[in-house]
Amino acid sequence: MLISSTDNTNEDGVDILANNLDSEPMLELFVFETFELISQLENIILNNEEANSIGIQINEVFRIVHTIKGSAAMMNFNSIVSLSHSLEDVFYHIRENQPENVDYSTLVDVVLRSLDFLKNEVNAIQIGSNLDNDVSIIVQEINEFLSLLKNENGLQKPKAVSTDFNMQKNNEVPEVTGENHFKALIFFEDGCEMENIRAFTLMHNLEKVANVISYCPKDIIEDQETIEIIRSNGFEIQFRTDLCIDNVKTLLSNTLFMKDIKLETISPIKNKHSSEENDNTGRDNNQITVKQSMISVNISKLDILMDLVGELVIMQDMVIQNPELEGLALNSFNKASRQLQKVTNEIQDAVMSIRMVPLSATFQRMHRIVRDMGKKLDKDVKLEFIGEETEVDKNIIEHLSDPLIHLVRNAVDHGIESPEEREKKGKSRSGKITLEARNEGGDVWIIVRDDGKGLDRENILQKAKKQGLLKKPENELTDREIYSYIFLPGFSTKKEVDEFSGRGVGMDVVNKNIEEVGGTVRVDSSMEIGTTITIKIPLTLAIIDGMKVRVGKSIYVIPITSIKESFKAQESTVIKDEANKSEMMMIRGDCCPILRLHEFFKVQPDTTNLEEGIIIVVENESRVMCLFADELMGEQQVVVKAMPGYIKKVNGISGCAVMGSGDISLIMDVSRLLNIS
């Protein structure tokens, strides 16, 4: 697909690999690995910014750039090759010459810009579009940086690498008298590259059994020109050895990419055999292969596996709870089915755990945002992580990235004050943003906390009022409710618009994304102390523990995590508001609205008498509500399925689940139910 749209030969006219290979998985792996490498490099560069030097991690940095270059060259992505090549030059220089004056902050800027370019290119590769961005600008920038670096530090001679080894002084050379005198002219295969080194290697091998008298061209190591000479004229070498011509031939042809050898005898031949190195290896051919301990798997395969496990759980219930079994004494059946349930549970857990990924990579990305914005806005901001190893379902992570970016941006922009302002307030000059993740029951909490100036309650309130967003009388609003207005579309309290935030778009993305994965957002803030935003999301989307409730003939599932308690109501605790036709109930001094499910879902219940049915108290975000149903039907783990696309979204329903009987139950969306009322 994409490969064919690019030039299929590299500069030397060599067919590139992508042409011949199964390129689809190769491309996938290339994209995956290159992204990984880019983010590794970005993290190293950012983490060392404080120290103002790459330090010993230079080797790591060099290796990463080198690897990116190598892989890109194989796929013939030339822009990536030339960019990473320039970067490699810079890091090579730093590694080899250890210049004293390195403008690290400029280096970081240049590297980060390069990485952005690379990310764009890899993205384009991933979606199959053409790579037509102009790499020359950024390459030139890098080269300028490098020449500046070289100038400022004087042109030091590279540290001595073992380029100067002298054949004559090679002490491995055995004493060879050399009865026979040979002249060999050697041609290498076209395009095998680095012919000078090949020639040198050849000579090096020969020296073990021969005395080299002369060779041409000379100076093959230092003089790059010799490559061309060897390509066109071949490499000529004369030597003396005790070996016979056949053995010499064999010895010389023990080299790769030899196109042609012309071997001439200059002195008479004497047949003498000498033992040559010979190879001998095991020849059994069984199938044990030693594999790597890590593999990467396409997420869609995991989705399929997950679906299948879901089906398995349903089928298991269909078998075990089959109505035909009722009333039968089935001791060993029951025992076996308990075993089966245990195994299926374990499979389920294992599959879930495969899909879990730590949040650290998502957190790490925030470094870059904090740095870029801090620099732009002249703010000094430190970023701290707590619990970044906490794991979340892969699908959820994808929904988390954007909200976190917006929250962190917002914290730097609106939360953290300028160093001067902070100093005046008696705070430390540098502000701090903390990203924290932790497990709380079936949920993961992600907390973004800053120690900035806090939200301006009055300002938000006035603005909300002006935009007509207030749904309750002002004095009934809690602080949290007021703060949560910042997540409404079009709400921005900043006076002027800037590059990062304040366009009024963004913060509503937070709410939208988080709600999509069944999570909630909560804001706490106090003036001059800071703002804390807590995101609560489920560990996984696919399987929930549910409580089955019956209303008439319909069964609904309520996620266990949102159920606080359930009980039989007493008429005396119910308060009726005839004017609003609403009912409420006192629970331990608190007034709770009652939602009759049969009315909400418009189904025929067994009873409308509150004392005869059951009250289920559900909670979300510290808001509480009483649901009224006919009866509880017990707990069950259910696999969440989306409603068919044709039906779109239904209020108060988050999806559906296939029960053991094969029937479908609707899963209630408690947070929405609470919002509706």
Partner 1 sequence: MAEIPEESLQLVEDTQKGKFLTFSVGKEMYAIEIKFVTEIIGIQPITEVPELPEYIKGIINLRGKIIPVMDVRIRFIKKPVEYNDRTCVIVIEVKDISIGLIVDNVSEVLSIADVDIVPPPDMNKEAENKYIKAIGKVGKEVKLILDCERLINNNDAQAISKIA
Partner 2 sequence: MKVLIVDDAAFMRMALKSIVEKSGHEVVGEADNGRKAAELCRILSKEGKKPDLVTMDITMPEVNGIQGVALIQEFDEKIKVVMVTAMGQKSMVQEAMENGAFDFIVKPFSEDRIKSALTQIQSILERNRV
Choose the stretch contacting partner 1; rule: CB under 8 A; options: 49-57, 152-160, 205-213, 652-660.
652-660
The helix (run of H) or strand (run of E) holding residue 374 is helix 360-377
How far, in Å, CA of 346 to CA of 328, rounded?
A: 28
Tell me whether the omega of the peptide bond preceding residue 217 falls within 30 degrees of 0, making it cis: yes
Q: Cβ(538)–Cβ(396) under 8 Å?
A: yes
Query: 635 vs 663, which CB is nearer to partner 1?
Result: 663
643 binds, among partner 2, partner 1, none (CB under 5 to 8 A by kind): partner 1
- Cα radius of gyration (the chain): 36
Distance of CA 306 to the CA centre of its chain: 21
At closest approach, how far in Å is the CB of 541 from partner 1?
A: 16
Q: Which of partner 1, partner 2, none is residue 33 near (CB under 5 to 8 Å by kind)?
A: partner 2
Rounded to a whole number of angstroms, the minimum distance from the CB of residue 25 to partner 2 is 7
Does residue 469 touch partner 2 according to CB under 8 A?
Answer: no
Ranges within 3-32 binding partner 2 (CB under 8 A): 10, 14-17, 19-22, 25-26, 29-30
**For residues 235 and 628, which CB has a smaller minimum distance to partner 2 in the complex?**
235
In the region spanning residues 127 to 166, those forming contacts with partner 2, defined by CB under 8 A, are: 161-163, 165
Q: Which range binds partner 1 by CB under 8 A, 35-43, 140-148, 227-235, 664-672?
A: 664-672
Is 171 a binding residue for partner 2 by CB under 8 A? The answer is: no
Number of residues that bind partner 2 (CB under 8 A): 65
Q: Where are the beta strands (DSSP E) in 147-281?
A: 180-188, 210-216, 235-241, 258-265
- Residue 280 contacts which entry, partner 1, partner 2, none (Cβ below 5-8 A, type-dependent): partner 2
The answer to whether the beta carbons of residues 273 and 250 sit under 8 Å apart is no
Site string for partner 2, 180-219 (x = CB under 8 A): ---------x-xxxx-xxx-xx--x---------------
Cβ at position 197, least distance to partner 2 in Å: 5
For the record, the structure tokens of 556 come out as 């609904």
The tokens for 536 are 């609560």
Q: How far is the CB of 44 from partner 1 (least distance, A)?
A: 40
Query: Based on CB atoms, which residue is closest to partner 1, 111 or 658?
Result: 658
- If binding is defined by CB under 8 A, does position 298 make contact with partner 2? no
Least Å distance, CB 194 to partner 2, is 6
Q: Is the dihedral of CA 106, 108, 114, 116 positive or negative?
A: negative
Nearer Cβ to partner 1, position 174 or 644?
Answer: 644
Which region among 58-66, 310-318, 383-391, 521-529 touches partner 2 (by CB under 8 A)?
Answer: 58-66
Minimum distance from CB of 652 to partner 1 (Å)? 7
Comparing CA positions, the residue from 161, 149, 163 lying closest to residue 104 is 149
* Separation between Cα atoms, residue 455 and residue 525, nearest integer Å: 6
**Nearest residue (CB) to partner 2, 258 versus 584:** 258
Nearer to partner 1, 200 or 601 (CB): 601
Q: Are 180 and 265 in contact, with CB atoms under 8 Å apart? A: yes
- Residues near 242 by beta carbon (within 8 Å), at least 6 away in sequence: 176, 177, 178, 179, 180, 209, 272, 274
Nearest to 374 by CA among 105, 111, 557: 105
Find the binding residues for partner 1 in span 516-555 (CB under 8 A). 554
Residue selected from 314, 433, 592, 616 as contacting partner 1 according to rule CB under 8 A? 314
Which of 631, 644, 444, 451 has the alpha carbon at shortest distance from 555?
A: 631
Q: Residue 191: which of partner 1, partner 2, none does it interact with, CB under 5 to 8 A by kind? A: partner 2
- Long-range (24+ apart) CB contacts under 8 A made by 95-103 are 95/58, 95/59, 95/62, 96/158, 96/159, 97/153, 97/156, 97/158, 97/159, 99/149, 99/150, 99/152, 99/153, 99/156, 100/153, 101/149, 101/152, 101/153, 102/53, 102/149, 103/148, 103/149
Window 584 to 623, contacts with partner 1 (CB under 8 A): 600-603
Please tell me whether residue 297 binds partner 2 under the rule CB under 8 A. Answer: no
Residue window 154-193: x/- pattern of binding to partner 1, with contact defined by CB under 8 A: ----------------------------------------
- Return the amino acid letter for 416: I
Binder of residue 441, out of partner 2, partner 1, none (CB less than 5 to 8 A by kind): none
What six digits make up the tokens of 438? 């932790």
Pick the piece of the chain touching partner 1 (CB under 8 A) from 149-157, 439-447, 500-508, 647-655.
Answer: 647-655
Binding segment for partner 2 (CB under 8 A), chosen from 68-76, 114-122, 356-364, 518-526, is 68-76
Residue among 246 and 599 whose Cβ is closer to partner 1: 599
452 binds, among partner 2, partner 1, none (CB under 5 to 8 A by kind): none
Spatial separation of the C-alpha atoms in residues 101 and 46, rounded to whole Å: 19
Q: How far apart are CA 508 and CA 492, in angstroms?
A: 10
CA distance 499 to 376: 10
User: Residues 665, 667, 670, 674: which binds partner 1 (CB under 8 A)?
Assistant: 665
Among 47, 52, 609, 651, binds partner 1 (CB under 8 A): 651
Size of the site for partner 1 (CB under 8 A): 26
Distance (Å, whole) CA 61 – CA 40: 9
Q: 426: burial class by Cβ within 10 Å (0-12, 13-18, 19+)? A: exposed
Extract the tokens encoding 199. 């020639």
Q: Which of 509, 527, 668 is nearest to 601 (CA)?
A: 668
Residue from 185, 643, 660, 675 binding partner 1 (CB under 8 A): 643
Using rule CB under 8 A, residue 291 touches partner 2: yes
Residues that bind partner 2 (CB under 8 A): 10, 14-17, 19-22, 25-26, 29-30, 33-34, 60, 62-63, 66-67, 69-71, 73-74, 76, 161-163, 165, 189, 191-194, 196-198, 200-201, 204, 221, 250, 253-258, 276-282, 284-286, 288-292, 296
Residues that bind partner 1 (CB under 8 A): 311, 314, 554, 600-603, 641, 643-653, 656, 658, 662-666
